[in-house]
Amino acid sequence: MTTVLRVLSYNIRSLRDDPAAVVRVIRSCRPDVVCLQEAPRLLGWRLGRWRLARRCGLRAAVRRRPGGLEILTGPGVTVERRRHRRLRRHPRLQLRALSTAVVRMAGRRAAVAVSHLDLCERARLEHAEQVLAFLERENAPVVLAVDVNEESHGPAWRLLADRLVDAGSGAGPTFPARRPRNRIDTVFVDPRLTVLAAGVPREPSAQDLAAASDHLPVLAEISLEE
């Protein structure tokens, strides 16, 4: 029997738009794992994240303030190990990080990670190299949900795609949500795994997608059979 892991990658802009729409979008996608970029990290960030997880029917696997990242998991997913690493700091640039949760579902394992790369091209490329180096140390097939902050022709994106499969290749743009023109968000997958489907999910309403955040989410269905 094939074990299918549904991973949702979503930049939620610190819940500054419509938090109720964010909840509806996430719930409608029925994810096993949710990887958030720009999770709340300022005053009251713990409460904001806790409320989001509870309203989505999920629980926190990795919840750390630096880097604005969070990983949530649903029923049927066991978290074996969790890590949060700060990436190399660049003066005058925002702190970037990588969160990873090794999860097990129906006896199959994967290292699900999330990151949000910088607006600065030099920092983006350096951090992409760091992310790959960290993920190579995992003892499970890797799934990386990432806001790359550049399109697929950029050097950081190409570096990631040289090592991992761009699950959303051929999918539509993800930014800005109201009138998407650029594909800057995706899910990269270990070549040992099989991507069954990936792209901007069809389940949420167009109104909720536009109201929830300035990014559209990316949903990947991945077979964990190697």
Continuous segment of H or E residues that includes residue 224: none
Domain that includes residue 169, residue range: 4-223
Residue 27: per-residue pLDDT: 98
Cα dihedral sign, 149-180-208-217:
negative
Neighbour count for residue 3 (Cβ, 10 Å): 16
Neighbour count for residue 173 (Cβ, 10 Å): 16
pTM: 0.97
**Whether the predicted pLDDT of 225 surpasses 90:** no
**Whether the predicted pLDDT of 91 surpasses 80:** yes
Instruction: Find the DSSP H helices in the chain.
Output: 19-29, 45-56, 121-135, 155-163, 206-212
* C-alpha distance from residue 128 to each of 80, 116, 132, 199 (Å): 25, 10, 6, 21
Domains of the chain: total: 1
Q: Return the bridge partners of 53, or none.
A: none
**Whether the predicted pLDDT of 17 surpasses 70:** yes
Domain with 67 in it: what CATH number? 3.60.10.10
92-96: average pLDDT: 95
Radius of gyration (Cα) for the chain, nearest Å? Answer: 16
